[in-house]
A and B are shown apart, each in its own frame.
Chain A
Amino acid sequence: MTIDPPEKPTHVIRLQNVARQFATPAGTVSALKGIDLHIAPGEGVAVVGRSGSGKTTLLNLLTGIDRPSSGEVEVAGRLLQAMSEDELAIWRRRSVGVVFQFFHLLPTLTVLENVLLPMDLATFSHFSDRRTRAHALLDNLGIADQAHKLPADLSGGQQQRAAIARALANDPPVIVADEPTGNLDTVTAEEVIRLLASLPQQGKTVVIVSHERDVSKYFTRIVTLEDGCLVPDSSQVTR
């Protein structure tokens, strides 16, 4: 008897006819209108589009921060719309790392503690190993010497690197970044983008949202959103 090797999953992110509407005093606004999107493991995807095109809504759906009004969102093997808030929180620990535009580091924790936080919540490895890993991540990102400083004492670029280290802390298969360069100067922004773009080489799936088309040169795939819809010919970039 022979055992077939397990099939390699064809996607780590699957969006099926996903729509998201918001009720506002001015009426219902459709942020996403029936999107279908598949992203393979290890793929680096840049989601671009103008302000209000639905980029952040899409990212919020991928991270379980928001829920679709209709359709299916499957990330890292789980259907997110079927999960409770707590299940989503537990799922986020190991499955997805989030990098926010405004860094969103906890201001009362040092940089090192911010990186340790997801590991502590996920009880990642042994307690002592977490500290070693956190130091290693900060070293890789070039901010090891800032480990014991509070986020407020760091520059924007350093804070965003710390946020990337935090996103990588539990070694999740998916990294999602929402306008990670939006608050940085051009040079620092490019450094951060390069950093994120290098992650697919380590086997991570990276989805980055940006309103700047410049990111396209760093990612293999560009997804353009326009008024809540995917632009059909935007999905693949040939270098």
Chain B
Amino acid sequence: MISTRWLVVLRHARLAQGRLVLMTLALAASGAALTTMLVTYSVLNREVSRNYLSTHPASVQMVLDQVDEGLAHTVAHFPSIADAEPSSVMRGRILLNNGSARSALLFVIPHLGQSRINTVRLVAGSWPRSPDGIVLERSAFGLADATLGQPIKVQVANLPPVALQVVASVHDPSLAPAWQEQTVYGYVSPEAAFALSGDANLHILKLIVESPTVTQLDIVETARAVAQRLAKSGHVVQEIRVPPPRTHPHQAQMMTLLVMLVGFSVLGLLLGSILAASIMEGFLAQRARDIALLKAVGATTGQISAQYLTLLAAVALLATGLSLPLGLWAAHGWASASAALLNLDIRSNAPPIRIILTIVAAGLLVPLGIALYAILRTSRCTVRDALGDRDISRPSTWSSVFLRLLIRTRLFSTEAAYALRNAFRRPGRVALGVALLAIAGGIFIASENLRTAWTANIAASAAQRHYEVEIDLENTESRERRGGKTGQRPVQKLIAQQSPRDKWRLDTGLRRKAMPNSRPVMIGIQFCKAVGKFTMPTLVKVST
């Protein structure tokens, strides 16, 4: 049997079903948003790290004139170096059957399948046993129009294309998806690289420094020391790359976005809780007389507060119960979509238990905390005040002053002035209403600002892009190398021949890409036609 004082609350709840449903929905919606964002954040944070660290990422990539396995073996015994491996990277293109081509980034690895640094996971097929084999990143198959076991034509610079057999599909979590970068990722042996470019030399020395807890500065110091030793032994160190240790290249971007969304979801929970508190305040105001009667027959403030806090806790618990599966489902979708964008595999969508506990605690405590004032205020109301309607009818000093001011301004009729005064009579309710509107307005303005800033940022980035077409040329001299001499260069000639009436202009800042083996030069061309349809010029021949 249930005690009658709890029966009172249950019957009150039954009378206010609509309000309670609204409170539950408000809390469930905001709780679901918080669950979605917190779980997505925690799952992605964990899975991004797990995926990336599973590749044993290099602490340092050093671009040298030439690297071989002997040098790597020597460097691996340098102080603070845990391991070293040689490799290289080539830019090329995959020639499709329809005559078009795709950019390709070819990683040259001496012993595919036996790498210890920047490893990839075999998804299908087997590691190449002959020089004519190529391994493709799993996301690159569609872009390269490739099938496992079938050959693809690979071309480096303007050398003759070479047919390489696609022997395996691998997953490389350190790379963005191929479709995103519009680049086919391939892994070839030095022999295949030689067949493609005539250059079998490796140029990148990958290093792993000892102690996984070292900072980026420590790694830089170690890399400098290695570079100095290599320079002394006659090697040319062209570039030293030290990425943030143990961090996926896109991790910071993803996490920043998620933290921002977690912030919004916290505001959403506050909003839902204030709405729930506001509804609770109205509900209690309706029940003030019953509460006074409970006190008249012996109920204490604590008992009454506990009764209504329990009711709200039950609503909050129900809302949290509803929001958790909804939020987990949404988080699963969000994390999966984000993982696809980052080319990651999610091993488990299960959030850490501390995150679930945090969500449950927030779902319970935030609404209770915000409604506490309203509940205590009603529970503390004296029997005399509640039975005599004094709590409602007695205007506070400030509301009387407010009324007098309203009437004196003569902007409102007396009826309107009284209506306004009544709207502001209960300061607690006014505060909740103002807080509700302020948070809602804050969320709206913040999201609008964010959207505008985002759009503006993308527009600014697009505006700063000074060309519409990128052409990679082999062995083209940069303007800097030519000592700033101007004059019509091959590309200009080509463009002049192709579209003489269109005003094309070469980007004055030619950019060299540091690709030691192929040394392509990227030329930006700005399309200057004020009016007209953009027409892609047909690249017939580029000579230098």
Contact = CB atoms under 8 A, between A and B. Distances in A.
Contacts of A122: 298
B297 interface: yes
Nearest to A87: B300
B301 A86 contact: yes
Interface centre among A104, A105, A114 (most CB of B within 10 A): A104
B397 to A, nearest CB: 11
Contacts of A121: 5, 294, 297-299, 303
B528 interface: no
Contacts of B299: 89, 121
Contacts of B3: 120
Contacts of B297: 92-93, 98, 117-118, 121, 166
B296 A90 contact: no
A113 B9 CA distance: 13
Interface in B325-342: none
A117 B296 contact: no
A208 interface: no
B298 A89 contact: yes
Interface string A70-100: 0000000000000001100110111000101
A109 B9 CA distance: 10
B361 interface: no
Nearest to B298: A93
Q: Which of A92, A105, A106, A114 has the most chain B CB atoms inside 10 A of its CB?
A: A106
Tell me which of B1, B297, B387 has the highest count of chain A C-beta atoms within 10 A of its own C-beta. B297
Contacts of B387: 65, 100, 104
A65 B5 contact: no
Given A108-B11, A109-B4, A117-B5, A85 B382 contact: yes
Please tell me the size bucket of the interface on B: 20 to 34
A121 B303 CA distance: 9
A66 B384 contact: yes
Contacts of A69: none
B12 interface: yes
A116 B298 contact: no
Binding site secondary structure of chain B = helix
A90 B298 contact: yes
A142 interface: no
Contacts of B293: 104-106
B438 interface: no
B371 to A, nearest CB: 21
Interface string A119-138: 01110000100000000000
B300 A90 contact: yes
B50 interface: no
A60 interface: yes
B393 to A, nearest CB: 12
A93 B387 CA distance: 18
B298 A118 contact: yes
A138 to B, nearest CB: 15
B302 A120 contact: no
B8 A109 contact: yes
Contacts of A105: 293
A98 B296 contact: yes
B383 interface: yes
A90 to B, nearest CB: 6
B15 interface: yes
Given A107-B290, A108-B8, A89 B384 contact: no
B7 A113 contact: yes
Nearest to A63: B296
A85 B301 contact: yes
A206 to B, nearest CB: 18
B399 to A, nearest CB: 13
Interface string A150-189: 0000000000000000100010000000000000000000
A65 B384 contact: yes
A61 to B, nearest CB: 10
Counting chain A CB atoms within 10 Å of each CB, the highest count among B4, B5, B293, B387 belongs to B4
B380 interface: yes
B295 interface: yes
Nearest to B15: A108
A107 B297 CA distance: 15
Interface of A: 60, 63, 65-66, 85-86, 89-90, 92-94, 98, 100, 104-109, 113-114, 116-118, 120-122, 127, 166, 170
25 contacts: A65-B387, A85-B301, A85-B380, A86-B300, A89-B298, A89-B300, A92-B296, A98-B296, A98-B297, A104-B387, A105-B293, A106-B293, A106-B294, A108-B8, A108-B11, A108-B12, A108-B15, A109-B7, A109-B11, A117-B5, A117-B294, A120-B5, A121-B5, A121-B297, A127-B1
Leading 5 A-B pairs by shortest Cβ distance: A93-B298, A108-B11, A121-B298, A86-B300, A118-B297
